[in-house]
Amino acid sequence: MCTTVIVGSKATSDGSILMARSADSSALKAQLFLFHPARDYKPGDMYRTKDYHGATAFEFPQPARSLAYTSVPNWQTHLHGAVGFNEEGLGVTGTESIFARDDALALDPYNKESGITEDDIIDVILPRCKTAREGVELLGKIIETYGAGEGFGVGFADAKETWYLETGTGHEWMAQRIPDDEYFASGNQGRLRWFDPSKDDCMGSSTVISWAQKNGFYDPAKGKFDFAAAYTRNDSRDRQYNDPRVWQIQRMFNPSLVQEVDDGRDFPVFLKPERKLTVQDLEAVMRNHYDNSEHDPYSFGLDGKEPWRPVCVFRTYESHVLQVRPWMPKEIGNVIYVAFGMADLSCYMPFYQGLKSLPEQYREGTDKADSKSIYWKFRKVQTLAMMNYQLLAPIVKETYAKHEQEMTAKQAELEKKYLELVKTDQKAADELLQKTNLELLASTEALADSLLNNLFTVATEGVQKEVFFANRKQKD
């Protein structure tokens, strides 16, 4: 269960393309950061999900030569990659779990035996596709041919375009290009609506309209084709779990917009923000939990029964902001900011596309806490802070906020030096990038260690005050 926000280049403060998403399942689901080198395959070689103990028996032919790419997968299978860039600069975030309407799904069910799922998408698209449009086309073809093993939404971004694809039923899908001056937000529901095959900014399955018409989910006499109405669920399950998140995001970026929370189907699909957006704005969305409102499940005592599901939940195992800056070399222009664990109590760290390797702790971690993996460095801080959110969370937030500001300044210095150096010495520029990026990550890891000790000190002092049992002379 996830939340996605995608912003076009003319809606951002610096012309970046931005995609953000939280990945929510279990706090015990340690995440890794992996590099996948380019490699050659022989004719007949297959990508098989079962080889990695994935969700289905999906299989797909390997390319003759794969592209190098990164992924942020789970610890068990090294699949289920949440986000990544490939060497051509294509970025993908996926997936947003979405749900088809039950009556349509009964006629065209998900292929849960051998269909493509979230397990596969990053590891199928990024080694093969060079552009966002190619990525959409390939994933769409796979859905039509093999079937989707579940309902999902996927974001694609390159230097020119940003797209979002949603499944309908098992073999029907739609994708739409994000308008350059607008943004898109989704929270576990189908959000794309007006499909027009004559327009260059729309793609879909070859039978997306005819199937809906044939089976009684679309009547042309009633107006233009509405993909969400024809295919995706829209009932009481969406009113509290999904709609409030989209409502909150649109309220953050368009505060003058007045709309009822339970009007989810009628929320605008795309909106022009009332101010230009930044990486930090999307990080703020990923951290949002209806802060300090009556629906805040953390600030006034932990409330797991709060009916409005927030963007930020404790069981978020990672969230990210993917940034594309086409005017820069992709080595520094493409960045993934990753916060391991719960974003509200985590720190967004930059991973440049030009980064070549990472320390071992980024390749380690399980469903049990340890003292080495990068995931558990952050999760331990978060778990302790949640034990007394009112006392400890402000310490975490202030510490990480200051550090993120410091990293932003250091990134600006790095990028300036890189642009100068790359003019004459590509190797030296790349070495500078590697060294500086690793230093930023190491400083954040050290800060998490220090913060954990600080929280234990504060918590220990608090417990001692509660059960001190002093004698009358206060001497022991």
Q: Residue 244 falls within a domain, yes or no?
A: yes
Contact 157, 133 (CB under 8 A): no
Query: Once rounded to an integer, what is the mean pLDDT over residues 86-111?
Result: 96
Domain CATH code at residue 244 = 3.60.60.10
Q: Residue 473 falls within a domain, yes or no?
A: no
Q: What pLDDT does 133 receive?
A: 98
Q: What pLDDT does 124 receive?
A: 97
Q: What pLDDT does 236 receive?
A: 84
Residue 264: pLDDT band (50, 70, 90) is: confident
Comparing CA positions, the residue from 382, 373, 383, 315 lying closest to residue 347 is 382
Question: Domain limits at 273?
Answer: 2-364
Q: What pLDDT does 179 receive?
A: 98
pLDDT tens digits, one per residue of 152-165: 999 999 999 999 99
Q: What is the DSSP string of 225-294?
A: -BHHHHHB--SHHHHHHTHHHHHHHHHHH-TT----TT-GGGS-SEE--SS-B-HHHHHHHHH-S-TTST
Q: Residue 216 falls within a domain, yes or no?
A: yes
Q: Indicate the pTM of the whole model.
A: 0.97
Query: Once rounded to an integer, what is the mean pLDDT over residues 256-279?
Result: 95
Rounded Cα–Cα distance for residues 372 and 96 (Å): 30
Q: What pLDDT does 7 receive?
A: 98
Residue 451: pLDDT band (50, 70, 90) is: very high
pLDDT tens digits, one per residue of 268-308: 999 999 999 999 999 999 999 999 999 999 999 999 999 99
pLDDT tens digits, one per residue of 366-383: 999 999 999 999 999 999
Q: In what order do the strands lie in the sheet with 349-352?
A: 270-271, 183-186, 2-7, 17-24, 316-324, 334-340, 349-352
Q: Residue 343 falls within a domain, yes or no?
A: yes
pLDDT tens digits, one per residue of 129-153: 999 999 999 999 999 999 999 999 9
Residue 472: pLDDT band (50, 70, 90) is: confident
Q: What pLDDT does 1 receive?
A: 77
Comparing CA positions, the residue from 329, 320, 316, 379 lying closest to residue 349 is 320
Q: Residue 429 falls within a domain, yes or no?
A: no
∠ Cα 61 363 408 (to 5°): 105
Query: Once rounded to an integer, what is the mean pLDDT over residues 181-197?
Result: 96
Q: Residue 434 falls within a domain, yes or no?
A: no
Whether the per-residue pLDDT at 34 is higher than 90: the answer is: yes
Q: Specify the long-range contacts of residues 356-361, CB closer than 8 Å, at least 24 apart.
A: 356/35, 356/430, 356/434, 357/35, 357/434, 358/33, 358/35, 358/438, 358/441, 359/438, 359/442, 361/445
Q: What pLDDT does 274 receive?
A: 98
Q: How many CB atoms within 10 Å of residue 137? A: 16
Residue 476: pLDDT band (50, 70, 90) is: low
**Residue type at 66 in one-letter notation:** S
Q: What pLDDT does 175 receive?
A: 98
Residue 470: pLDDT band (50, 70, 90) is: confident
Q: Residue 438 falls within a domain, yes or no?
A: no
pLDDT tens digits, one per residue of 321-361: 999 999 999 999 999 999 999 999 999 999 999 999 999 99
Q: Residue 238 falls within a domain, yes or no?
A: yes
Residue 475: pLDDT band (50, 70, 90) is: low
The residues annotated as belonging to the active site are 2
Whether the per-residue pLDDT at 32 is higher than 70: the answer is: yes
Domain count, the chain: 1
